[in-house]
Amino acid sequence: MAAVKNRRIGVWFSLTLAILVLSAWMGSMLGARVAVYRYRSAQSRSLGTLSAPEHAHLESVLDELEAIGFLRLTFLASPNDEKLKKSLPEQLENIVAFRKKVNTAEAKPVIDMNLALADVVAAIAEEQSNNKDRAANYMRSAQSLYQSIGWRDYSEETLRDLAQRELDKWKLDPQSREHAK
């Protein structure tokens, strides 16, 4: 009689273990599907009711803005390093080339503003190198761009102050330069 009870317990235990394993497997499969559904649902809610063309346009605007940010970063960090300072004209040409490739209306004023800032920085660098004519050309180009995007005060003094504030954000103090080496 005790052997029969042990067998029943063993059968029930095996059955319970099988149900546990089967439900864990089904739960993991269902959990993965629920997670994917919730992720896609959250994405569609965050994008609102954008159609496929609107979504593609948003993606292209964001891509262009990201590229502009990268160009800005590389240009503003360059004047603080003597080796990179020599590449300012080439970097300015890269910004001009990218400006021609910008397709979205939303990114055009942003690239114009960054190109104007780059022109002011280039004018400051050329002035420091005693190239007054090139500096004046860069400054006129910057003033023209700032005027075209609607700035009211695009005087040389204002633009120099603006550029200097931006450049100061990217200056490394001597202590951090030693640690970088």
Q: What is the pLDDT of residues 25-81, one digit of tens each?
A: 777 777 777 787 787 777 666 666 777 788 788 888 888 988 988 888 888 877 766
State the Cα–Cα distance between residues 11 and 175, nearest whole angstrom: 74
pLDDT at 5: 56
8 Å CB contact between 88 and 127: no
Of 129-138, 144-153, 165-174, the poorest mean pLDDT is in 165-174
In a domain, 180, yes or no: no
In a domain, 122, yes or no: yes
State the Cα–Cα distance between residues 6 and 160, nearest whole angstrom: 91
pLDDT at 158: 93
Band the pLDDT of 11: cuts 50, 70, 90: confident
Q: What would the mean pLDDT of 131-141 be, rounded to a whole number?
A: 92
Q: In angstroms, what CA-CA distances link 51 with 44, 88, 101, 103? A: 10, 41, 25, 19
In a domain, 181, yes or no: no
Do residues 32 and 65 share a domain? no
Neighbours of 114 (CB within 10 A): 20
Q: Which helix (H) or strand (E) holds 103?
A: none
Q: Residue type at 25?
A: W
How many domains, the chain? 2
Do residues 77 and 166 share a domain? yes
In which domain, by residue range, is 112 found?
Answer: 52-172
